[in-house]
A and B are shown apart, each in its own frame.
Chain A
Amino acid sequence: MGGVPVEVGSAETGGRGRELGAGPLHRVVPPFCGREPKKRSDSTTDVGEPKTVELECLAGLVPTVLATLGPQESIYCEHGIMLFKDPPVGVSRKTIQGGGLLQTLERTTVGGIPYYLTEFTGPGHVGLSRDGTGEVRILELAANQTVDVAEGSLVCADAHIQYGMEYVKGTHRPGRMVGVWLDRLTGPGKIAVHGYGNIISMTLAPREVIHIDLGGLLWKDSGVAAKTANLPFGGGFLGKLEALEVLELTGPGQVAIQSIDPKAPHF
């Protein structure tokens, strides 16, 4: 790992940022982003020249991320999650590199990874929302630090963030023939992730293992190993048939879990 993620804008820090280094397992991060929504300035006068992309969480039941972009500054996000933008903000397509035609078809049709990403270039403001009840976390990644974010949870990322994909194989049992796709993001820069429901963060010690629901993972350090597993309910064929399918995570590193499976109906 290139460093520890810095969580920006949590209630504990009053928005100043906080290191999520060593800490007890099961330490629960308080709900909501904690910071009062910043009043949005008039876009015609508040374009400024910030040195880094400014990402801000507008807290609420369905939180929004407000990105303030300086001239030529860019962020990228999944297509279709834009809530609003200033007219000067340019929109373009960012293609995803990786794999051939078959791999692209697999991850876009079977998995939830998009064909391409949308890039917004400043100056101006962009509002982005995942249209789901939950919490947003803004992470600042150090140079070469990599995190894996669950598919459908990335709100946006600084254009300096390198985008890739990680595939965790399924258990190949009926109902779980395919695995889980993750967005692999490498710093330096800021990213915003949307957790459905509440976010539970923890730090795994080296070789510490937890089992989580397949839809429960929000993000993890790339150093945390992930594999799918069946937990049999007793012996015999029936025990294996009714086995609990989980994602097995092995430390060391940070893990964030969301209390709602995004694929479950939750409204």
Chain B
Amino acid sequence: MEADSVGGIAPAVLVTLRHGEKVLAAHGLMLYKEHQVQVHRRTMKSLGVSRTHLMGMHALGDSEESYFFAEFEGPGHVSFSRDKGGEVRVLQLAPGQTIRLRDGHLICFDESVRYYPMVLAQYQSPVPDANGQRATTYLFADELTGPGTIVYQSYGNILSFNLQPGEAMRTSVAGLLACANTVGLRIDWLASPAMASTGPVPLPVLDITGPGMVLVHSGT
């Protein structure tokens, strides 16, 4: 498939499909399509994602993973938009190359790309709630493995880093947009008496260790 970013404020993606070519996108992202482009439902099972795995992820928290994808089959043009401001990137994945993209940012991908939703990291609140429970937060991601083309959108601008082996960086939990599967992730906590008038407020951050690509976005 051929994908182009269109516009600068809330960019859309214009995908050009040849005869028989297919692109998969989350339900409801389509902006427009030509009449001859066919629409089908593509179940997660057909992509190798079991229903148990998907339901398990939904049971963990606010996972935005869909139960199925919309599959568009060429020939023709189809356009997608996430209705948000930011940047759209088109990434060509080499065979075996894997990227983990935070949920809610994937726009569309080639049929040849292997898709698998996963839990990227999880952390427990250091402060118990009124019931004495420590809530667990899960960071969900879409794991995408090449070969093929994927298109994703950031909220705000994208900052790209390529970490060397052992090189480390720290981001906010919401700031991480995507990373390679070779990158190590660990949740850490920042707490400072100056962070709030009522006392230390622990702030979760992500410690990221190379090697691999890391994408951070400026909006959340």
Please give the residue numbers on chain A whose beta carbons come within 8 Å of chain B beta carbons, in ascending order: 25-26, 28, 31-32, 61, 133-135, 196-200, 208-213, 215-216, 231, 233-234, 239, 242, 244, 246, 257, 259-261, 264-266
Interface size class of B (residues with CB under 8 A): 20 to 34
Taken together as a complex, chains A and B put the C-alpha atoms of A37 and B31 apart, in Å, by 30
Inter-chain contacts of A233 with B (CB < 8 A): 39-41, 68, 70
Chain A residue contacts of B11, Cβ below 8 A: 198, 259
Complex interface: chain A residues within 8 A of B79 (CB): 200, 257
Do A211 and B14 touch (CB < 8 A)?
no
22 contacts between A and B (CB under 8 A): A26-B77, A28-B14, A133-B85, A197-B7, A197-B9, A197-B81, A197-B83, A198-B7, A198-B11, A208-B35, A209-B34, A211-B32, A213-B31, A216-B81, A239-B41, A242-B27, A242-B41, A257-B79, A259-B6, A259-B11, A259-B12, A266-B10
Asked if B8 is at the interface (CB within 8 A of a chain A CB), the reply is: yes
B30 at the interface (CB under 8 A from A): yes
Q: For chain B, what secondary structure do more than half of its interface residues adopt (helix, strand, loop), or is it mixed? A: strand
Taken residue by residue from 31 to 55, chain B's Cβ proximity to chain A (1 for < 8 Å, 0 otherwise) reads as: 1111100011100000000000000
B30 CB to closest chain A CB (Å) equals 6
Task: Give the residue among A209, A244, A246 with the most B Cβ atoms within 10 A.
Answer: A244
**How would residues 1 to 30 of chain B score, 1 for a CB under 8 Å from any chain A CB and 0 otherwise?**
000001111111010000000000001101
Check B14 against A231 for contact (C-beta < 8 Å). Answer: no
Residues of chain A within 8 A of B186, CB atoms compared: none
Q: How far is the CA of A244 from the CA of B32 in the complex (A)?
A: 12
B residues engaging A (CB < 8 A)?
6-12, 14, 27-28, 30-35, 39-41, 68, 70, 77, 79, 81, 83-85
Q: Which 8 A-B pairs have the closest CB atoms?
A: A198-B7, A197-B10, A233-B41, A209-B35, A212-B32, A264-B83, A259-B12, A259-B81
- The answer to whether B32 and A260 touch across the interface, beta carbons within 8 angstroms, is no
Name the A residues within 8 Å of B30 (CB-CB): 211, 213, 244, 246
